[in-house]
Amino acid sequence: MSILKKIFTKSRSLEDGIFFGSIQVILGFPPKNLDNYKKAFTHRSSNKLNSDGVPVNYERLEFLGDAMLSSVIAAHLFNKAPLGDEGYLTKMRSKIVSREHLNELGKDLNLIRFIESKVPVHHFGENIHGNIFESLVGAIYLDRGYSYCEKFIQKRVIIPYVDISRLEGKVISYKSLVIEWCQKEKKIFHYDIYEDNGIDGTRFFGVKLSIDGKVIAKARATSKKKAEEKASQRTYFALQEKMDKK
């Protein structure tokens, strides 16, 4: 009972106490206003309203968290890469806060276990993990201010993941890389997109990437964007020796 007394206040329910303890482990410090964190995991499908009839969900906190992440990461890069110009710093920040990386961060912390939603978890897209990571950062800012927000980002993002020399070689978009190379080398490229549905009825998109009239790579995925990126990646590996000389 002594451990429970440390976690609970008289007004805190058993469920809130468990949530409080779990969030404290993730943050590394105790939250002050638990409602901020509850909102950070409330999906719009829950149809919650506050006392003024305004919808309550994580989307506004996601916007705020995105801004906080960009701010803290920008300051870190500014200090750690004194020779980097604006373009370099922008590109490096984009690699750190890419949707793919934010999704990984959300998964590592298993944040989806806290989601309150009327939609089954397996129906969520991949980006839900990154979205709620950003909303959590927004909740920290509202609850504890900039310094605690910075502390959390340092602990969960910068210290374990931000290695500037490694990030310099990380490709965040093979499509951008291919297009940039084609434009520089004055080559004509074309993404031919078509539906390529599976036997089970799942909707797929096929892509053929041609350069100067020759098909270099093909790919298939559940979205046009993913198919284009996959075809671009295959094109990069097919032409890597030429492209790395750019």
Q: Based on the structure, what is the number of domains in the chain?
A: 2
* Whether residue 101 sits in one domain with residue 192: no
Q: Of 16, 66, 86, 104, which one is the catalytic site residue?
A: 66
Contact criterion met (CB below 8 Å) for 144 and 32: yes
* Whether residue 107 sits in one domain with residue 228: no
Q: Long-range CB contacts (< 8 A, 24+ apart) of 108-114? A: 109/26, 109/133, 109/156, 111/26, 111/41, 111/136, 114/19, 114/22, 114/41
* Whether residue 184 sits in one domain with residue 213: yes
53-67, pLDDT tens digit by residue?
888 999 999 999 999
* Whether residue 178 sits in one domain with residue 157: no
What integer pLDDT is reported at residue 60 of this predicted model? 95
* Whether residue 187 sits in one domain with residue 71: no
- pLDDT, mean of residues 7-30: 79
Structure tokens at 177: 């890389």
pLDDT band at 244 (very low <50, low <70, confident <90, very high): confident
Q: Which domain holds residue 212?
A: 174-243
Domain boundary, last residue among 168, 192, 212: 168
Least confident of 12-21, 34-43, 87-96, 144-153: 12-21
User: Rounded distance, CA 2 to CA 242, Å?
Assistant: 66
pLDDT above 50 (res 2): no
pLDDT above 80 (res 201): no
* Whether residue 199 sits in one domain with residue 162: no
* Whether residue 72 sits in one domain with residue 41: yes
* Whether residue 224 sits in one domain with residue 130: no
* Whether residue 108 sits in one domain with residue 190: no
Q: What is the rounded average pLDDT for all residues in the chain?
A: 88
Of 66, 88, 63, whose CA–CA distance to 77 is shortest?
88
* Whether residue 104 sits in one domain with residue 33: yes
Which residues participate in the annotated binding site for Mg(2+)? 62, 131, 134
Catalytic residue flag (residue 134) = yes
* Whether residue 151 sits in one domain with residue 185: no
CATH number (domain holding residue 57)? 1.10.1520.10
What integer pLDDT is reported at residue 10 of this predicted model? 45
Structure tokens at 239: 């032409």
pLDDT above 50 (res 159): yes
User: Rounded distance, CA 177 to CA 175, Å?
Assistant: 5
pLDDT above 80 (res 230): yes
CATH number (domain holding residue 188)? 3.30.160.20
Q: Which of 8-12, 84-88, 115-119, 160-164 is the most confident on average?
A: 115-119
- pLDDT, mean of residues 165-179: 80
- Sheet of 189-195: strand order equals 189-195, 205-211, 214-221
What integer pLDDT is reported at residue 207 of this predicted model? 94
Domain boundary, last residue among 128, 143, 168: 168
* Whether residue 202 sits in one domain with residue 121: no
Q: Of 134, 143, 150, 228, which one is the catalytic site residue?
A: 134
pLDDT above 60 (res 1): no
What integer pLDDT is reported at residue 12 of this predicted model? 58
- pLDDT, mean of residues 37-59: 92
C-alpha to C-alpha distances, 198 to 195, 201, 202, 206, 207, nearest whole angstrom:
10, 5, 5, 11, 15
Domain boundary, last residue among 128, 145, 168: 168
